[in-house]
Structure 1
Amino acid sequence: MTSMPKPFIDKHLPKNRLGLSVRNYEGVMSTLCAGCGHDSVTAALVQAFWELDLAPESAAKVSGIGCSSKTTAYFMGQSHGINCVHGRMPSVATGANAVNGKLHYIGISGDGDSLSIGFGQFAHAIRRNLNMLYVLENNGVYGLTKGQFSASADYGSKSKKGVPNEQTPIDPCVQALTLGAGFVARAFSGDKSQLVPLIKAGLMHKGFALIDVISPCVTFNDHAGSTKSYAHTYKYYHPLVHTDFVAHAEEITGEYADDGAMRVTMHDGGELRLRKTDSDYDPRDRAQAIETLMLGGSDGEIRTGLLYLNEDMADMHAANRLPEAPLNTLPYDQLNPGAGALAALQKRYR
């Protein structure tokens, strides 16, 4: 399928301080499966940018490979952006950020793109405290290659054929915390009331901000035995031609009860159990955040909300004492000070 532009009709829609409606923050029409949680994340990003009164051209979208990485085409069509090779999005984002740190960088990735081939890239972007919002759309499977288990699939989770996953999962939030990330959050794509504020907070955070979004894959989760209600349908297929039938499915949404818990019934009858962090939870306590993530799953519930925040860390620009002016705006004589300056720099490392 090819992406098609959306009809632009905003006559009766409210405007933000820039005089823009949410339509100004949209992209082309989505080609994802009907009901995909990734489209809900896209809608939340549109809403967050609109509410923050940020101009679309002030953003730079970067993505890798996977269903999640396609979604950068579906929001803020007037912004900067690049779709990279598999797992290499953080390096490209680092280079772009070093040249022009004035933009709002949004990295869109998935559990396959970030936790497998791109795991090392993901880790070093955190170590550098790259100033960006990193949205990891986590569905536990490889959706583009017919739903194999990803690195985030829970141990013992079963596929449609009943085959259990026998490898321990990688939790991106635990990894981010142990690597020193200053902003770590987890959310559910169906809860826009929680996701939009987290995105707004992540965009405004100075440094690396991770939001791990549990985002249902409606094509590969209609079976019993999967702890996230996701699975793969085919392990082997004919390499010449393959046809799938994807049934229409409604988007899954929900609201938290007064006690902070929410049960989400999936399309296959399976259930997600989500719980917000308590009102007295301290997001500045790293040890508490790790304990919450490590022990919270023992009761079958997934903890959501702002898990950790550290606003005292220097971002990559400050740590490397980069100039305030974007490098692509500096005059040539400053970017190329000559052979003498280069020799002096090299002498420092001898």
Structure 2
Amino acid sequence: MTSIKKPRVDKHLRRNARGLTVRDYEGVMSTLCAGCGHDSITAAFVQAFHELNIEPHRAAKVSGIGCSSKTTAYFLGQSHGINTVHGRMPSVATGAAAVNTELHYIGVSGDGDSLSIGIGQFAHAIRRNLNMLYVIENNGVYGLTKGQFSASADIGTKAKKGEVNEQTPIDPVALALTLGATYVARGFSGDKKQLVPLIKAGLMHKGFALIDVVSPCVTFNDHAGSTKSYAHTYEYYHPVVHADFVPTGEEITAQYEAGEAISVPLHHGSVRLKKTGDNYDPRDRDQAFDMLRRSEGKEILTGLIYIDETRRDMADMAKLPDTPLNALPYDRLSPGKAKLAEIMKGYC
């Protein structure tokens, strides 16, 4: 992984409420292939954090193994972060979030890291409703090992060398809906205008927020016949909900009709949504499933697919104290033998 720092040229850049420019939210130089969709996602992260006025040290980045998992080095260089082993990122994120609930947790993974070796870990992070933003940079191949099909490759898609995939793909959006994720979205690395507000809303959501981002691999999966290429995605992607992010304000309770905007209040903020003509409501889980089913093999639905603000997150369900565990004094963490004996009497 590179350690080359980007040049600091920020004299004329806009500063946010923290007095920081976008340069303060960047990391080291990317070593990914020129044109990789993952770098566009990195740029979206930088913009989202800058616009949310979140100081970099208030964030923690967690990733696994793969091209996607390298990208955590390319943004928020002054934040906390760790690369874990293949497919085990959710466990590390769970432990970190249990110890310090005051940080913004960002998990960055790939379709191989999350949908193959790590699918069990991914499922249980959703089940716990872990308070984190989990981004899958989905390109349909194993880029680090020269372009084999991943578990998200569509039936009929062609590899660069001509092989045709015949195995049924795993759709992380449908899987997340099935498992009860409380924020489910899909984006496209080539549509930064849509991706930035999805990231901002996901960061502010209290609970597990998944964004599956179609991110073409320009080296191994951007050719004719690939359903994860730029050309294919631009042709078939369909924004189901137009989203923007607005600061917290008074609760909006007015009725709305198709084509009008609604505001969904979130933890520390709101996401501004605009309904499409078919009256799609991202708070209706059954409708989300039906929309995915009807679009399968025809369109790539993007935008906020589903949101549930009513479920408690892991910290609430585990009854964690308001003070982060890493800030508790030793006498509270280890009250001594007498207290332990008193507790054990309750099990007799």
TM range (shorter): 0.7 to 0.9
Give the 3 Å change call, closer, same or farther, for CA 135–349 of structure 1 in structure 2.
farther
Q: Confirm or deny: 8 A CA contact 1:141 1:149 kept in the other structure.
A: yes
Query: In 2, distance between residues paired with 1:342 and 1:141?
Result: 52
Q: How much does 1:342 deviate?
A: 3.2
Partner of 1:306: 304
Partner of 2:119: 119
Query: In 2, distance between residues paired with 1:63 and 1:71?
Result: 9
SS in structure 2 opposite 1:13?
coil
Partner of 1:203: 203
Partner of 1:53: 53
Paired AA for residue 275 in structure 1 = H
SS in structure 2 opposite 1:275?
strand
Q: Match for 2:237 among 253, 271, 274? A: 274
Matches of residues 120-269 of structure 1 in structure 2 within 5 Å? 120-229=120-229, 265=231
Query: In 2, distance between residues paired with 1:348 and 1:72?
Result: 46
Q: Confirm or deny: 8 A CA contact 1:228 1:272 kept in the other structure.
A: no
Partner of 1:291: 290
Paired AA for residue 215 in structure 2 = S
Paired AA for residue 295 in structure 2 = G
Q: Deviations over 1:33-71 (max 9, x none)?
A: 000000000000000000000000000000000000000
Query: In 2, distance between residues paired with 1:55 and 1:208?
Result: 21
Q: How much does 1:294 deviate?
A: 2.1
Paired AA for residue 170 in structure 1 = I
Q: Confirm or deny: 8 A CA contact 1:3 1:30 kept in the other structure.
A: no
Q: Confirm or deny: 8 A CA contact 1:126 1:208 kept in the other structure.
A: yes
Query: In 1, distance between residues paired with 2:174 and 2:234?
Result: 23
Once superposed, which parts of structure 1, at least 4 consecutive aligned residues long, lie more than 6 Å away?
none
SS in structure 2 opposite 1:265?
helix
Q: How much does 1:344 deviate?
A: 4.8
Partner of 1:22: 22
Paired AA for residue 333 in structure 1 = D
Q: Which moved more, 1:193-202 or 1:215-224?
A: 215-224
Give the 3 Å change call, closer, same or farther, for CA 347–88 of structure 1 in structure 2.
farther
Query: In 2, distance between residues paired with 1:292 and 1:42?
Result: 29
Paired AA for residue 317 in structure 1 = A
Q: Which moved more, 1:339-348 or 1:74-83?
A: 339-348
Query: In 1, distance between residues paired with 2:4 and 2:288?
Result: 42
Q: Which moved more, 1:271-280 or 1:201-210?
A: 271-280
Q: Deviations over 1:233-289 (max 9, x none)?
A: xxxxxxxxxxxxxxxxxxxxxxxxxxxxxxx526xxx96411011523100111111
Give the 3 Å change call, closer, same or farther, for CA 3–165 of structure 1 in structure 2.
same
Paired AA for residue 265 in structure 1 = A
Q: Confirm or deny: 8 A CA contact 2:154 2:165 kept in the other structure.
A: yes
Give the 3 Å change call, closer, same or farther, for CA 140–19 of structure 1 in structure 2.
same
Give the 3 Å change call, closer, same or farther, for CA 333–142 of structure 1 in structure 2.
same
Q: Mark the runs of 5 or more structure 1 residues left unpaired by the alignment.
A: 230-263
Query: In 2, distance between residues paired with 1:171 and 1:32?
Result: 25
Q: Deviations over 1:199-252 (max 9, x none)?
A: 0000000010000000010001243322223xxxxxxxxxxxxxxxxxxxxxxx
Paired AA for residue 164 in structure 1 = V
Partner of 1:62: 62
Partner of 2:258: none
Q: Confirm or deny: 8 A CA contact 1:109 1:136 kept in the other structure.
A: yes
Q: Confirm or deny: 8 A CA contact 2:140 2:221 kept in the other structure.
A: no
Q: Confirm or deny: 8 A CA contact 2:222 2:228 kept in the other structure.
A: no
Q: What CA RMSD, in Å, does the superposition of the two structures yield over aligned residues? A: 1.6
| TM-score (normalised: structure 2) | 0.86
Between the two proteins, the alignment pairs up a number of residues equal to 312
SS in structure 1 opposite 2:185?
strand
SS in structure 2 opposite 1:185?
strand
Q: How much does 1:301 deviate?
A: 1.1
Q: Which moved more, 1:287-296 or 1:103-112?
A: 287-296
